[in-house]
Amino acid sequence: MEPIVVAAVVAGVVLAIGLLAMSVVVERAEVRESLRRLEGYQIQDVRDQEMLVPIGERVFAPVLGGLASVAQRFTPNGYREQVARKLMLAGSPKNRTVDQILVFKLLGLISGLLWIPLILAVLGLGGLFGFAVVVVLWGVCFMGPDVSLSRAIESRQHDIAVQLPDILDLLTISVEAGLGFEQALERTTTAVPGPLSDEFRRMLRETRYGASRAEALRAMAERCDVPELRTFIMAMLQADTFGVSISRLLRAQADEMRIRRRLRAQEQAQKAPVKMLFPLVFCIFPSIFVVILGPAMISLMRNFAKT
């Protein structure tokens, strides 16, 4: 039997077993969640109390903790702080922590021990091509967490930059209608969902907990790191310092942010031809050449064979 067929069969069996185990785990988790919601439910013993804990905390959490301690030993100085800042810029996603990123990097680092026998022995790919495949797979596994985190940061910053002019327009209308800045901001964030609205709501909570508006705005600028938002925050801080009218400031900032969004769109449009060059040269042109020159080359080869 071919090695590829064996690998496909093994992968199918493992996937089926994993799906079956996952269905059982999900069913038990739903049962435990239903029992938690029952009024007057009493835990009989310690085992029942431990079984109420999700399986991720009972099984995977200790393993994750052990791998995280191993990963921290091999982590360079300052890298953990860099990952923590990237997670903050990405919006602190609930399914990602610093320890998880370090564990994924560790698993990606040691994944070469799996790819080498799998590619060279099982699939039978040898020579320079097999070595290149191993290097590519190892690089994808090792750099995957960083690339995924960078993509999340870029997507969030783009959404904030695109959403900022619309929120400023609504803020301007609300403030000119007679609302205060905090009331207008709360009404606007409720009407326009998104990452920027979440950051503004967090800023409002910080001011209610005792922080000044300037401190909350500076903290929001650090969490987002978007040039357009930083410009708006600096203008707000100067307005608070010199007593400038907020409605007039918001109107000017809304006009400027719309111009910046238009320039950003034009910049992206100008980059499109350069990005299309690679697929055009390596994917589209070869297909066109095969369709156009293929019959001609076949006719020339047949005529040459007859002569």
7-22 tens-digit pLDDT: 555 555 555 555 554 5
Where among 227, 245, 263 does a domain terminate?
A: 263
**Least reliable range by pLDDT among 118-122, 134-138, 177-181, 218-222:** 118-122
7 part of a folded domain: yes
Q: Average pLDDT, stretch 50-79?
A: 64
208 part of a folded domain: yes
pLDDT at 25: 46
Distance separating alpha carbons of residues 215 and 91, to the nearest angstrom: 19
Query: What are the E-state strand segments in 151-293?
Result: none
Residue 235 and residue 249 in contact, taking contact as beta carbons nearer than 8 Å: yes
pLDDT at 41: 47
pLDDT at 156: 92
Tokens of 279: 């697929």
13 part of a folded domain: yes
40 part of a folded domain: yes
pLDDT band at residue 66, thresholds of 50, 70 and 90? low
20 part of a folded domain: yes
Q: What CATH number did the domain enclosing 188 receive?
A: 1.20.81
Q: Average pLDDT, stretch 160-169?
A: 89
Amino acid of residue 76:
P
59 part of a folded domain: no
Residue 165 and residue 257 in contact, taking contact as beta carbons nearer than 8 Å: yes
pLDDT at 182: 86
At which residue do the structure tokens 């990952």 appear?
83
Domain assignment of residue 202, given as a range: 160-263
pLDDT at 59: 59
Tokens of 197: 């609205």
For the chain, give percent helix, strand, coil, nearest 5.
85, 0, 15
Q: For residue 25, with 0-12 CB atoms within 10 Å meaning exposed, 13-18 middle and 19 or more buried, which class applies?
A: middle
pLDDT mean across residues, the chain: 77
Q: What's the sign of the alpha-carbon dihedral 69, 74, 77, 78? A: negative
Whole-model pTM: value is: 0.69
Asked if residue 65 has pLDDT above 70, the reply is no
32 part of a folded domain: yes
The structural domain count of the chain equals: 2
Instruction: Return the H-helix or E-strand segment holding 58.
Output: none
302 part of a folded domain: no
